[in-house]
Amino acid sequence: MLSPWGKGSFTLVQSRDRLLVVGSVALDTIETPAGKREDVPGGSALHCSLAASLYVPVHLVGVIGEDFPQEPLRLLERRGVNLKGLQRVPGKTFRWSGRYHQDWIGRDTLDTQLNVFADFKPAIPDKSRDCEVLFLANIQPQLQLDVLDAMKRPRLVALDTMNYWIKGDLPLLKKVLRRTHLLIINDEEARQLSGMYSLLKAARGIMAMGPKVVILKKGEHGSIVFAKDYMQLVPAYLLEDIEDPTGAGDTFAGGVMAVLTAHRGLSDAILRKAVIHGTIMASFGVEGFGPERLNSLTIEEVEARKRQYLTQSCPTGILPVADYGIEAHRTIVSPPNDGNAGDRGMLEASRWHDDHMEIVDQSQLPGNVAIVRMETLEDVVDAIRTLKIRGAPAIGIAAGYGVVVGVRNLIRDGQLGGDAIEEVLHRLGASRPTAVNLFWALERMRKVVSKVGFRDGSALIAALLQEAVAIHQEDKELCRKISDHGAGILPEGGILTHCHAGALATGGIGTAVGVIRTAHQMGKPIHVYADETRPLLQGARLTAWELQQSGIPITLICDNMAASLMASGKIQSVIVGADRIASNGDTANKIGTYSVAVLAKYHSLPFFVAAPYSTIDPTLKSGAEIPIEQRDPDEVRGFRDQRWAPENVPVWNAAFDVTPASLITAIITETGVSRFPYHFGS
């Protein structure tokens, strides 16, 4: 089983501590010796967030006007940046225009229009107030103080400022400095702030104002790190060609903050790592106008340049090259060396790690693989409701771990009791009404509470966690059994599947996709056709990605192409998963499954359902009794930030439909293969 917490060569982001960035988001007009660009997305918060989000989870707080384009925001979201604190208000976005001299150092500011930024009042969302690390980018000191007052005691506060605030708002700036651990500033600003020309004296003078660490930026000459009894000069990464240095300082800060977010403490070694990483990020930032280069930047490119820099530059006192990654808090994934090619490309949807629950945020796939820590019951409920975790078996597993999270919070808050625990179970049960595995798992957890009681909180948590892990492990095993049973009856040739029933939807190798994996491992010549699966595109985003990562032949099609493919003879069978199966075999699955089953019947193709036996609800006589979830109409009106339907046009958005048992050739569970007519639970 390929786990995102294993080791290997493919790097992903692991969410542990989070970075909150508060600053400006702008539209710049930039003229350099390399050319001119207008309306380039920029600002301190944007550059910093883009640089940091390649490695750590970022929350951004800022303000934009009605004229700010959507594409930069979509890029930030694909990187996993939380934009709930980014306000879009009537008016124009903050705009800056400047021209750089031929030496690339001097520049003239041609125009500054604060626009909506003039009245900016940072509004920190509740989930951002407890971010562990805070970077106060270049904004008014009073606003920086307001942000500090709104936070719940971050472990690290870093600050950027500029000569405008040093000259015009020094008393307030000094109040901010007293509450700051680290200041990033250029050499001229350091002299202005301290009143001392010697950079060593200037840094010491600034540290006397509050910060434990001062990082002085010196442009093409690199940077200097000052801390108590420690100083380190870090040279710049030399480039042959530069396009735009406008965001270099903020990109440098984003790189620094990524390391300081991923590693706790301000030791000499961590500070060296941070500044070297910031140096490398800044070197990429200047290779394009605005954030152009950062948009396409990959972790592999960053690490390759870092290795080259450390080999060639050799700054005094650095650690070995291998010590300069952000390894401790970055997920590294590679195929296992067990010869089991069928397990390649698999991620576990959720797991319990050390003392907390972690999930893969499926809403960000395939553009970003983000592993998110579930701190509260509301985190788990929201993850299930918003499809960050989805698929009936995976939802059941998440619910088990969610009970542990919820009950542990009750103990922490001194609210443990029968009614409070029942409320935890109720809130999880209300998150998705159709997936029967959710209620099956919750009932198992309820029985544990009844057996152990709640007088001894530690004993209850231990018992609940043991049961949640058991649910997870059992699902791994039954996925294997389902896959073994199904692979034997799956015909060779083209296979159509709808939605996603792979590893991310279960606790193991998947149900329908697990059958496909096993058939492929057996050497059957197969080719998968995956419906994109409107409206949330689980087939396009998840099935296609998972099978492609696994090396299984896959072609993506629009939902309305299935009939044509069947008529052309390219499809030999259909296999899907299930969210709930009635005792007569009627099956609820993702909306669109029913129409695929009708098409398969017309074309005389076998239609298989693969699901764990726990998906069968023997209390329901037929599919007419299965509750069907109605979801947000905006899921049909568009996708993410893109809208293609008239605003407020009426929408019918059922999440599931019911396929009559008579259209299903066989239902494959861990117990074996059942064929029509079905009599489950009798």
3-state class of 336 per DSSP?
A: coil
Q: Of all helices (H) and strands (E), which one includes residue 441?
A: helix 436-452
**Beta strand 587-590 pairing with 580-582:** antiparallel
Sign, CA dihedral 278-283-284-287, equals: positive
Give the amino acid at 590: K
Measure the CA–CA gap between 576 and 208, rounded to whole angstroms: 65
CB 253 within 8 A of CB 263: no
Residues 547 and 516 sit within 8 Å (Cβ to Cβ): yes
Find the radius of gyration of the CA atoms of the chain: 28
21, β-bridge pairs: 60, 135
State how far Cα 468 lies from the chain centre: 24
Rounded CA gap, 647 and 580, in Å? 33
- Tally Cβ neighbours within 10 Å of residue 196: 16
Phi, psi of 52 (to 5 degrees): -75, -35
Specify whether 579 is catalytic.
yes
Identify which of 249, 189, 244 has the alpha carbon closest to the alpha carbon of residue 219. Answer: 249
Q: What secondary structure does DSSP assign to 183-198, as a single string?
A: EEEEHHHHHHHHT-SS
One-letter amino acid at 610 equals A
Which backbone phi and psi does 483 adopt, to 5 degrees? -65, -40
- Which of 17, 160, 379, 579 does the annotation list as catalytic? 579
Nearest-angstrom CA–CA distance, 225 and 87 = 34
**Pairing outcome for strands 58-64 and 656-659:** unpaired
Which of these, 153, 152, 161, 162, lies nearest to 182 by C-alpha position? 161
Token code pair at residue 205: 């003078």
Residue type, 505: A
Closest CA to 582 of 633, 616, 559: 616
Catalytic residue numbers, as ranges: 579
